[in-house]
Chains A and B, each alone.
Chain A
Amino acid sequence: MSDSHISDTHPEHFSHHVRRYLLVFYALLFGTLITVGASYIPFGHRAMNIGVALVIATGKAFLVAGYFMHLISERKMIYGILAFTAFFFVGLMALTIWSFSNFPWHTTTH
């Protein structure tokens, strides 16, 4: 919702944006149906099902963040904040996954 993104408040200009919001809305609904449908398809291994669901969720998250939150055309300042956030978030997840293969010998995880 940056000033650079929408600086013209002319109704015709905005109707173009409104159409885009509606398209994103339909895409999100479709994505939800796909997510539910894909969960019933056996992809061979549960990890594959998890991967497919997370890919679809990431796509939906991109649509919400990119268009509803207008991140596709934001100021550098916001991108800077998000770059730091992404760095620490990815680091957190990487450390979590890394820890799986780094238990001391004979550790019980449950």
Chain B
Amino acid sequence: MDIPYTVQPRPDTGLYNAKVGIWLFLASEVMLFGALFSTYILLRVGAPEGLWPHGWLNVPIGTCNTVVLITSSITTVMAWASLKMNQFGRFKFFHACTILLALTFVGIKSYEYRDKFMHYEISLADGRIADGHMIKNELKFADSKWTGHALIKGHFVEDRKELYDLKAAKSHPHEEIPIEGAQIKKLDNYGPWHNTYTAIYFTLTGLHALHVIGGALVIGFLWGPGSKMWKTDPERFTNRIEISGLFWHFVDLVWIFLFPVLYLL
């Protein structure tokens, strides 16, 4: 049985069915991300004065990823336009670029995540806090006590509040600090469990990254084995590219808001 209205517009909507379907799906996506943005607003407004982190993310890297995603949007629309102009070779080129840019985005995001998981805040028995990136970790935790030793590259602070503005902290000299396990009262990296900021950061960007990976898989299929349809049913194939493109632009659109909210403000 043939699926109806894959190419011809349905008389009552004036659109082929997949297009109505993708817009309904994107509407649900708006509400999904909307709920998480609403959560972000509540967490941020509820944070005590001076205790919402600033400068915890690398702005040049975030800007670079924004440019990568914007560029992938133009290659996506150019891939679709190439099919409309009957230029299959150009379509292949532009969508190969889209896939490479998607992989670049995920790669850069992974690097940022790794940086957060390597970044530790260590409360010491003498009341000081060592904050920095783990270089060597030979610590062991047993019977509620830390043993062994570690080496971090960072600096000491007297008050945790000093850690909330890492832009200012960069003025402190960063040096290699040896840490003895017996000195440690509490050790915590900057993963999602660190505080509400890292929790919402990882939730929002993690969900967004899953969308990038999902979109890249679909585009990858349409670029590879799925592109055989161009020979048998070019109009339907062009519509498939349009639909995957609409999803991809939505992913870009979400990042346009995530970038300033998480990195800059």
Which residues of A come within 8 Å of B, CB atoms?
1-3, 6, 9, 11, 14, 17-18, 21-22, 24-25, 28-29, 32, 35-36, 39, 46, 49-50, 53-54, 56-57, 60-61, 64-65, 68-69, 75-78, 81-82, 84-85, 88-89, 92-93, 96-97, 99-100, 109-110
Contact = CB atoms under 8 A, between A and B. Distances in A.
A11 B2 CA distance: 32
A85 B31 contact: yes
A25 B67 CA distance: 10
Contact of A21 (B27, B63, B81, B259): B81
A75 B14 contact: yes
Interface residues of B, number: 52
Contacts of B27: 81-82, 84-85
Contacts, number: 128
Interface stretch (B120-128, B181-189, B210-218, B245-253): B245-253
Interface in B146-180: none
B135 interface: no
Contacts of A53: 260-261, 264-265
Contacts of B41: 93, 96-97
A51 to B, nearest CB: 10
A77 B20 contact: yes
B45 A81 contact: no
